[in-house]
Structure 1
């Protein structure tokens, strides 16, 4: 249960010709147990330095959201009223080492304290945006900084005394498990079109059901979906692969396609949403957690041809391993669906390991993924308990039998086939 909110009146202000519609600042106090997740020795030292020099510092964004959800934050990002130059001067005086100076132009200075890095960013205003990048100016107004953030649940700050500062009802929306953009949704999206995908990713983190979307949010996304064409494939892929494996991942992919997002992230017009729903439902029914399945395995469910996969890969710029998993699942999914015994999948692994010379760990992962795609829990358990046996013959042994060099690989292939038929017992 979230703490009781206190409301404080604020004036409605103007900033760079934009009206910030806000009536109340909500504040609440976290208890000491919640703050213990934040106040480690490094944070306490960081706080004392800023206080000593007359600057305010608060935890910003996602960490505040996670704390209110009862989740221990993995990372802490800090916002401050100090400018980069003021922070550098302050840290120099205090003998604090600074690293990653490339972030200064965006307002970020990274301090190294107690063997931990702390990213401290000056409060900012977006002066000009093109849907991908923003030119910023520094401010000392917490409200103006909150107004430039994407979602209300990410626009809260936490003072190191335990006070949460909530300018746009983020805590209320978090409690209601609803997702809304800060202020005008069209404006927020046009500042950075990647926020369309961030909407779906965070929906998967906080929503209580697969289709409880605010209709106005979806309409705004549909109006602005073309802007995703401006976003690099690398940035798109970071978001998409998180969406796929979060709660309601299958429903979210389908909803994204319904909103017209598909072509802008590399999915074909014919992406098979009905099969996507089928695969996710099958995994749920079989008890395979989405977190245990590779994102490419799940995405493969909507593709029907190699050409579609090639176009998708060209758009998202994924890794070689991710590319291989997609093609492998596409090629062997029907085999896994129709397999009668685990031996058929073991033979596939042997062909890859011995016939293609693939690394054993890669072979085991790829075959396991295709079994997960098919939700063949019966075969998966036996397969993961099995180790690929060592083939008892090599090229030198075949050559010693008088087989011509050009025929050795064909002879080995035939021997592997006989070895598989013997259930890997020949030569023992």
Structure 2
């Protein structure tokens, strides 16, 4: 008896139905199936975020079928057989069944096929080589993808070393899928292939590596997968030494135990050495966004030092100087290094205060300083900074009159 997913809402939603109707009108009911992550996740009870389709139609036939149904067709990866359909404002990737003609570890030359088993044989892991028809019937061409998905076995399709040589990014994908879906001991043959060919990671584009690394770190609890990466020497091929596994494990424990949202960028910062210059160089080498590069560098700043016993007044002062994002990042990294059981209430309270307190605006401007008798020029900024320091030291005093009096006092003491 065939396995079935049953009818899921994402299968029958009007935008999806419109796309399926268009393709079936061109190639019949058997020409299109759901593929990969949507089938895998539905099978094991995980949320389905993206739904991809595989088809025996060529990209040209897919485009014609969509246009005939008055749906938008975008040639997002036409050389690899991928057309994106847009229906109801939602995108759906449709990829023609393929077989590899040539690979060099970074890219593949493909030919199109109508053979579902041939398409399955070129995929990376057995749990990703699953297809489902419109009525929910599951197809498992490699024979054990269903069992592997349910058991949490991350197993390459076919011979592991060959799969890795076809695309060296699969080394990182192996650990990413372990972090997200793995259970029990890792597949020995898969791990051996990744360890043997780890040096080839350097041949990959920085963008592909960084995307895969951040996806791995976004798993709910990637500690075991990252530790295995380190033991296999794979992590050292990606990150600069010394890798701080202790802080990373501490941060992941904090996020898991305290039900914080997983934060792959901060987890990446936790793994890096306490060297802002090296962190910036690494971020630029991996082509991280400017925002992520700056965030990592700020999170690794050695000053000011965070302690669990800081008073609310000290916390507010740090928040004002650092801003909420940097403050939260620095606090979590400090907490990751601390004795969590004994100090959890303090760290939790610190972060809660940081999330609940809105820094007030400094009540003076340069015009106020000039009105107090300070001539235009560098002295204006100097006076403002001195009064602002007084205002901060007085815990952001909400007394305009006292602040003006302090301004007058500072202005009178300046030599112009």
Q: How has the CA–CA distance of structure 1 residues 301 and 427 changed in structure 2, closer, same or farther, with 3 Å as cutoff?
A: farther
Runs of 5+ unmatched residues, structure 1: 1-5, 7-26, 353-362
- C-alpha distance after superposition, 1:155-209 (max 9, x if no partner): 1111112210012311101111111111111111111111111112221221246
Match of 2:300 in 1: 330
Are the aligned partners of 1:96 and 1:111 in contact in 2 as well (CA < 8 Å)? no
Residue correspondence of structure 1 range 384-423 to structure 2 within 5 A = 384-404=355-375, 405-423=377-395
Residue of 297, 304, 321 corresponding to 1:351: 321
Q: Does 1:373 align with 2:346?
A: no
Count of matched residue positions in the alignment of Structure 1 and Structure 2: 385
Give the superposition deviation at 1:215.
2.6
Q: Which moved more, 1:52-61 or 1:113-122?
A: 113-122
Runs of 5+ unmatched residues, structure 2: 336-346, 401-416
Q: How has the CA–CA distance of structure 1 residues 81 and 333 changed in structure 2, closer, same or farther, with 3 Å as cutoff?
A: farther
SS state at 2:12 partner:
coil
CA distance in 1, matches of 2:307, 2:272: 16
Match of 1:243 in 2: 216
Match of 1:108 in 2: 82
Give the superposition deviation at 1:115.
4.0
SS state at 1:109 partner:
strand
Residue correspondence of structure 1 range 22-421 to structure 2 within 5 A = 27-32=2-7, 35-55=8-28, 56-92=31-67, 94-168=68-142, 169-208=144-183, 212-265=185-238, 267-285=239-257, 287-291=258-262, 293=263, 295-296=265-266, 298-332=268-302, 335-337=305-307, 340-352=310-322, 363-375=323-335, 376-404=347-375, 405-421=377-393
Match of 1:14 in 2: none
Q: How has the CA–CA distance of structure 1 residues 90 and 397 changed in structure 2, closer, same or farther, with 3 Å as cutoff?
A: closer
- C-alpha distance after superposition, 1:295-321 (max 9, x if no partner): 235533441212331331122111121
CA distance in 2, matches of 1:242, 1:394: 45
SS state at 2:212 partner:
helix
Give the superposition deviation at 1:263.
4.2
Q: How has the CA–CA distance of structure 1 residues 178 and 127 changed in structure 2, closer, same or farther, with 3 Å as cutoff?
A: same
CA distance in 2, matches of 1:166, 1:160: 15
CA distance in 1, matches of 2:303, 2:121: 47
- C-alpha distance after superposition, 1:12-71 (max 9, x if no partner): xxxxxxxxxxxxxxx412223xx3331222333333333333341101111111111223
Are the aligned partners of 1:50 and 1:57 in contact in 2 as well (CA < 8 Å)? yes
Are the aligned partners of 1:297 and 1:326 in contact in 2 as well (CA < 8 Å)? no
Give the superposition deviation at 1:223.
0.6
CA distance in 2, matches of 1:374, 1:290: 17
Q: Which moved more, 1:151-160 or 1:212-221?
A: 212-221
Give the superposition deviation at 1:214.
2.1
CA distance in 2, matches of 1:408, 1:334: 27
Q: How has the CA–CA distance of structure 1 residues 90 and 390 changed in structure 2, closer, same or farther, with 3 Å as cutoff?
A: closer
Q: How has the CA–CA distance of structure 1 residues 264 and 314 changed in structure 2, closer, same or farther, with 3 Å as cutoff?
A: farther
CA distance in 1, matches of 2:127, 2:303: 40
TM-score when normalising by structure 1 = 0.83
CA distance in 2, matches of 1:228, 1:277: 24
- C-alpha distance after superposition, 1:340-367 (max 9, x if no partner): 2232232123235xxxxxxxxxx22221
CA distance in 1, matches of 2:213, 2:12: 33
Are the aligned partners of 2:4 and 2:138 in contact in 1 as well (CA < 8 Å)? yes
